[in-house]
Amino acid sequence: MNTRQPLPQTPEPPGPPESPEFDHLLHCVPDVDSAVRAYTRAGLPAHANPPCRGYRNGAWRLDVRYVETFTVEDRAEFDASPYGKAMVPWMPRIDALLAAGGGGLNFAIHVADVAATTERLRAQGHTVELHTFASEGAPVSFAEAVLTGDGVPSWAPFFITYTPDRDTIFREYRAATTRRGPYDLAGFVIETPDPAAAAAWLSRVTGIPVGEPGTVVPLPGAHGHFTEGPADAITALLLSDGGTLAVPEIAGLGLRPGETAVPADANP
């Protein structure tokens, strides 16, 4: 029996006020090195980063967009870190995914002004935590707005703004080493008991109108596709341009063919 509470209602969106675009998707995996090898074998060239404060990640980077593979290697060190403290609301889901062998956690939406997004969401009645991450001497910082509280689905997006802007970050620090491979990220699949209601909820929190057939939110850079099922989770990446997919799944996250999404630099 599904005991999930109905998604909280918010006013209909007036339009996307903060230029929302897909930024990245979080894929929780038991072992980052193994996941990176699997992504690369699948035609999605990925890399692994060194551990940082108990957290380890890697990525398949396309451009300013990416899919982040991550795990928690040292729980005590991670829990004491700024990242661990900010991710407390997500930890029950992360623990469940790690125990299950991995899977999609949630996704980030880039916005022009995360403080403005926070105020808009709070005005709609949402509880929002705003976190800023900046290290002394580091050239990049970012702020995230995280929806919390009853009724927020585990796959719910968080919102992010970078300093400097993400195009500058990509051009100066990422472009020279980025290898997208043959595929593009067209979107992702969220399996949920009521796809139409979930799509409407995501539309309200992003300001992006639901597209046809009423279960797709055309987020620039990667569309969110909702399908009926019990998981209430992100279940697959939708990939385009690269031809036949050789690998159907990586650490609990499916790979499926999909049509190319609206480019990340285009707004509806």
160-170 tens-digit pLDDT: 999 999 999 99
Lookup: tokens for 251: 């650490």
Torsion of CA 147, 35, 83, 169, to 10 degrees: -90
Between CA 191 and CA 260 the distance in angstroms is: 20
Domain with CATH 2.60.40 in the chain: 183-257
> Which pLDDT does position 4 carry in this prediction?
56
Residue ranges of the alpha helices (H) in the chain?
32-41, 75-79, 82-86, 91-100, 114-123, 166-169, 195-206
**pLDDT given at position 16:** 52
Query: Half-sphere exposure of residue 75, counting CA atoms within 13 Å on the CB side?
Result: 7
CATH of the domain spanning 183-257, picked from 2.40.160, 1.10.8, 1.10.3470, 2.60.40? 2.60.40
Would you say residue 209 has pLDDT above 50?
yes
- pLDDT surpassing 80 at residue 9: no
All CATH 3.10.180.10 domain ranges of the chain, comma separated, are 21-176
pTM: 0.91
Above pLDDT 70, what percent of the chain?
A: 90
Residue 8: pLDDT band (50, 70, 90) is low
Homologous superfamily, domain 21-176: 2,3-Dihydroxybiphenyl 1,2-Dioxygenase, domain 1 (3.10.180.10)
Tokens representing 131 are: 């976190």
